[in-house]
Amino acid sequence: MADVPAYHSTLQTPTLELCSSPACIFWPPLYLPSYTSFGVDFYVRQCENLTQALFGVSLRPKVNVKLLEYQAKGFFDRADIPIPQERLVLSGAQARTAAQEIDLPCVLKAQVGVGGRGKAGGVKLAHTMEEVESHADAILGMEIKGERVERLLCCHAVDIKQEFYASVTTDRTNRTLLLMVSPAGGVDIEEVARSTPERILKIPVDPLLGLQAYQTRRAAMFLTQEKDIQKQLASVLAKLYKMYVANDLSLAEINPLVVTNDGKVIALDAKVIIDDNGLFRHPDFEGYRILSADEKLEQEAKGKGLSYIKLSGNVGCIVNGAGLAMATMDLIKRYGGEPANFLDVGGSSSPEKMIAAIDFVTRDRGVRSIFVNIFGGITRCDDIANGLLEATKDAPLPLPVVVRLTGTNEDEARKMLAGTSFIPAIDMADGAKKAIEAAGGR
């Protein structure tokens, strides 16, 4: 397979639902060539999935779960770290009600996963009820770095005297935890690290000993000379550390941690990232995971019995069996095309599944042609043909669809599709070539 181009796909790991039969445990050796063309990484991850299914052990390092500010503030609140009075709202009218409860002035803050929302206009101060409503309406629906704002946090605004930075992370190189503080809060901490690194104090914390009182005192003294504020800061830092460890976090950050004009220390912003490796200890955290648009689509497909993973190419694939689906993608790559997706319709293929499959594939705007590649074993080809005809009965085919059907009842299937606008293919290679051509060539 030396002439097969290496394909380091950006595939997210298909989960084990991919396997429609127990025979899937034989996949790795069987499909090694196919796997290798998708990158060793992909192959390894599949083996890990198998391990998880067979032995219930997860080997896969997963992605961390980054919380939105209001969720992170919930962690702070439970850890007894002071936060401003605030409410989560979904509309301008709700913001007004919230503002009445918590009092003016209010700060309206876009709840998005991306950074830099302040600069993008996602944080606004409101002095009147009218401003609360108009700012809320302006921020809701705004796009910040490609993310649509759907939720707002309406917080009671405080008078800021000083802004600090504080965080707890894990320092993998030194195998310690790390408490970081800076009197230069409210701004991008990376910028402080670049321009004035001496304004950041880093205190390594032995995870076995935990954060010691002398360490929190030292951090507090680095931030201010005022005894009373020092005391409050030391208490917040100790709570932040405790919260970090108890919840298996990979980041707990407060920026800014402010001192108000009346001498109170309050966390105005919160950033919390949960370490996925510890998620098994916190089953209740699963709900914090906010799915990306692609992940949502994949979940929806799963609900219809389809294993669908969106990719970036223009040849949509509808295939039965995960191995065949990967081989199909390989073949498309081999002939110079780009698969738009992985899609396994599974073993038994009802017309409904075909309809759903066509629906999912065509929802991807980048798709220019579809390659239906079916091996009829348990699946009967005439069932598939029937599904295809059903799926396109009411609406004409949105795109050129190349069909390769082989195996059980293939002759019947071919007869059923004869004279329709489906483009027949003799074999897989022929189908792949025709689909690439229909998509606009290589």
Specify the pairing of strand 152-156 against strand 160-171: unpaired
Part of the chain binding Mn ion (CB under 5 A), chosen from 266-274, 349-357, 373-381, 433-441: 266-274
Residue 123 as a binder of ligand GDP (CB under 6 A): the answer is yes
**Closest CB 341 distance from Mn ion, rounded Å:** 38
| Closer residue to ligand GDP (CB): 28 or 118 | 118
Q: What residues are paired with 148 via a beta bridge?
A: 143
Residue of 43, 165, 241, 308 marked active site: 165
Long-range contacts of 260-264 (CB under 8 A, 24+ apart): 260/158, 260/159, 260/160, 260/161, 261/159, 261/160, 261/161, 262/159, 263/161, 263/228, 263/229, 264/82, 264/158, 264/232
Total binding residues for ligand GDP by CB under 6 A? 15
Part of the chain binding Mn ion (CB under 5 A), chosen from 263-271, 301-309, 349-357, 414-422: 263-271
Structure tokens at 23: 């025979």
Structure tokens at 109: 């803050």
Containing 223, the helix (H) or strand (E) segment is helix 213-223
* Single-letter amino acid, residue 101: E
**Closest CB 185 distance from Mn ion, rounded Å:** 8
Which residues have C-beta within 8 Å of that of residue 175, sequence separation ≥ 6? Answer: none
Part of the chain binding ligand GDP (CB under 6 A), chosen from 154-162, 324-332, 402-410, 416-424: 154-162
| Cβ–Cβ < 8 Å for 425, 369 | no
Residue 256 as a binder of ligand GDP (CB under 6 A): the answer is yes
Q: Which does 268 bind (CB under 5 to 8 A by kind): Mn ion, ligand GDP, none?
A: ligand GDP
Which residues have C-beta within 8 Å of that of residue 264, sequence separation ≥ 6? Answer: 82, 158, 232
| Cβ–Cβ < 8 Å for 265, 232 | yes
> How far lies 325's CA from each of 316, 320, 342, 372, 400, in Å?
11, 7, 6, 10, 19
| Closer residue to Mn ion (CB): 149 or 384 | 149
Residue 71 as a binder of Mn ion (CB under 5 A): the answer is no
Rounded Cα–Cα distance for residues 221 and 254 (Å): 17
Residue 120 as a binder of ligand GDP (CB under 6 A): the answer is no
Residue 255 as a binder of Mn ion (CB under 5 A): the answer is yes
308 is catalytic: no
Residue 322 as a binder of ligand GDP (CB under 6 A): the answer is no
Which residues have C-beta within 8 Å of that of residue 273, sequence separation ≥ 6? Answer: 64, 65, 66, 67, 249, 250, 251
Cis before 22? omega within 30: no
Residue 269 as a binder of Mn ion (CB under 5 A): the answer is yes
| Closer residue to Mn ion (CB): 257 or 405 | 257
Question: C-alpha 76: how far from its chain's center?
Answer: 23
Residue 68 as a binder of ligand GDP (CB under 6 A): the answer is no
Part of the chain binding ligand GDP (CB under 6 A), chosen from 25-33, 156-164, 274-282, 353-361: 156-164
Residues 198-237 as x/- pattern, contact with Mn ion by CB under 5 A: ----------------------------------------
Residue 186 as a binder of ligand GDP (CB under 6 A): the answer is yes
Residue 265 as a binder of ligand GDP (CB under 6 A): the answer is no
Q: Which does 382 bind (CB under 5 to 8 A by kind): ligand GDP, Mn ion, none?
A: none
Part of the chain binding Mn ion (CB under 5 A), chosen from 87-95, 153-161, 253-261, 321-329: 253-261
Residue 160 as a binder of ligand GDP (CB under 6 A): the answer is yes
Three-state SS at 260:
strand
Residue 253 as a binder of Mn ion (CB under 5 A): the answer is no
Residue selected from 144, 268, 317, 403 as contacting ligand GDP according to rule CB under 6 A: 268
**Residue 24 φ/ψ, nearest 5 degrees:** -60, -20
Residue 364 as a binder of Mn ion (CB under 5 A): the answer is no
Part of the chain binding ligand GDP (CB under 6 A), chosen from 90-98, 157-165, 211-219, 287-295: 157-165
Residue selected from 118, 366, 400, 407 as contacting ligand GDP according to rule CB under 6 A: 118
338 is catalytic: no
Task: Count CB neighbours of 147 within 10 A.
Answer: 16
| Cβ–Cβ < 8 Å for 11, 330 | no
Three-state SS at 342:
strand
Residue 167 as a binder of Mn ion (CB under 5 A): the answer is no
Residue of 253, 298, 338, 410 marked active site: 253
Residues designated as active site: 165, 253
Residues binding Mn ion (CB under 5 A):
255, 269
Residues binding ligand GDP (CB under 6 A):
107, 109, 117-118, 123, 155, 157-158, 160, 163, 186, 255-256, 268-269
